[in-house]
Amino acid sequence: MAKARLEQGSVIDGFTIGALAHKGGMAKLYSVTRPDITFPMLMKVPEISTGIDPAMIVGFEMEQMILPRLSGPHVPRFVANGDFANQPYIVFEQLPDKSLYPLLDELPLPVDDVTRLGFKIATALADLHRQNVVHLDVKPSNVMFRETGEAVLIDYGLARHLELPDLMDEEFRLPYGTAPYMAPEQILGVRSDFRSDLFALGVLLYFFATGKRPFGDPQRLKGLKKRLWRDPFPPRALRPELPKALQEVILRCLEVNPARRYPSAAQLAMDLQDLSKVVLTARADKMRCDGWADVIKRRFNPDPIELLKPKEATAALANAPIVMVAIDLRDGTPELADALRLTVSRIMQIAPNARIACLNVLKIARISLESDLDEEGNNKHIARLVDLKHWAEPLKAPEGSMTFHVIEAVSPAHAILDYARENTVDHIVMGARANSAMRSLLGSVSAEVASHAPCTVTVVRTRGLAENKG
């Protein structure tokens, strides 16, 4: 039978119980050791005293089901489970640092710190979502960091794995979560939409940037539901020096309708990594809350919230890839440019929420005294940006779905690969080198990219190039 309290020095399933590391309202954490495991570990043991919320027990069961299925640097390494027949527990690695919770005493944070933390958390969410898990409790106390810098998401008691039974949804009708961070659809009982985590991250970004919670901390369902029709003060109304691009990102995350948020955590991370590439809309210039007429309309005649059912969620994520198009603006032929555009347009038709990153590498010498101006006296970097936008015009991409990047590098292949890794790119599209003699002399950039890329690579050739290749 499960024990209410574990004694230091006792042994359970080979784990020696150490000191009590943390005591929360739902569980205790003990440091534990086992002779065959060298890294630090914690054992999480649920509270099982009289009067405990049954949802806590179910949440612990969910965490026991989900954590063993997760892998990668953004989740704690799972070690073992114990069942309720004897002693319920979860053993996982002990992370070296504290959570973000202590930072609350230092708010608001500098803008660079807000965007840096947001990028790391969004990257962790992208990895989690690819493993078919919606966290549903993103908040400062559930975010930790490795010594190598990666954000780690902890506590999966409220999470939903789209390939497992959702015991929380099956057994309880009330929404569960942390009030300030719950997404509107989560309040309505929907637990299968990845974009709920983006709303929570938007709340965290708002809080860290302004020192204020966008929706306060309501304790009743009536107060929670107000966020379905009441918009928060724009961040720049509270802190005018914030960049417009950061406000654009935050308010997009906080949209009531999930369809108006970022379609994926990876796309959010991409914007947080470089605010200069964020496409600004009316959100960026907003300096006051919406008027009463708009609020009353949303209250009594709301627009429908476009929710995703569990079977649709994974497909929706697949329809929002980050696609990098590596474009050679100097040696490429018009025929190859047309073929590249045709390939990209087909991808956009198949994946309508794709983020298209048009990239050109401005090759530089290893030791260079070259001018940054071209023969006509124009800045080379800016000229390339203009050329990229001109190349993309025929695609007629939806506003905000396409960005343009010029990267100065010695090796085009290395630059393309680095960009793909840093931005969690799902698909690289690039053209083959047009000149067979140049390929023989310099090697193939596309071959090197295809050999080492962390994602799918499509190398586009024109028919003439395919027939004449050496």
Domain boundaries, the chain: 11-93, 102-316, 321-468
Work out the angle at residue 170's Cα, subtended by the Cα atoms of residues 308 and 215, and round it to the nearest 5 degrees: 55
The answer to whether 456 touches 424, Cβ cutoff 8 Å, is no
pLDDT at 374: 64
pLDDT at 369: 52
Q: Tokens 């504290």, residue?
A: 98
Low-confidence ranges of the chain (pLDDT < 50): 437-438, 440-442, 465-470
CATH code: domain 321-468 is 3.40.50.620
Both structure tokens of 402: 């396409």
Amino acid at 401: S
Name beta bridge partners: 428. 324, 457
Give the whole-angstrom CA distance, residue 10 versus residue 28.
Answer: 16
How would you list the strands of the sheet with 78-82, edge to edge?
Answer: 11-12, 15-23, 27-34, 37-46, 89-93, 78-82
SS3 label, residue 249:
helix
Q: Tokens 């709301």, residue?
A: 302
C-beta pairs of 18-27 under 8 Å, 24+ apart in sequence: 21/94, 26/53, 26/56, 26/59, 26/60, 26/157, 27/56, 27/60
pLDDT at 432: 83
SS3 label, residue 146:
coil
First-residue to last-residue Cα distance in the chain = 74
Both structure tokens of 339: 């073929």
Cβ partners under 8 Å of residue 267, min gap 6? 320, 322, 355
Amino acid at 75: V
Q: Tokens 């497992």, residue?
A: 164
SS3 label, residue 443:
coil
Name the CATH superfamily for 102-316: Transferase(Phosphotransferase) domain 1 (1.10.510.10)
pLDDT at 442: 44
Amino acid at 240: P
pLDDT at 23: 87
Question: Would you say domain 11-93 falls under CATH 3.30.200.20?
Answer: yes
pLDDT at 467: 43
If you count them, how many residues does the chain have? 470
How would you list the strands of the sheet with 322-326, edge to edge?
Answer: 402-409, 355-363, 322-326, 427-431, 456-460
Name beta bridge partners: 355. 322
Both structure tokens of 138: 């993103």
H helical segments located in 90-137: 111-130
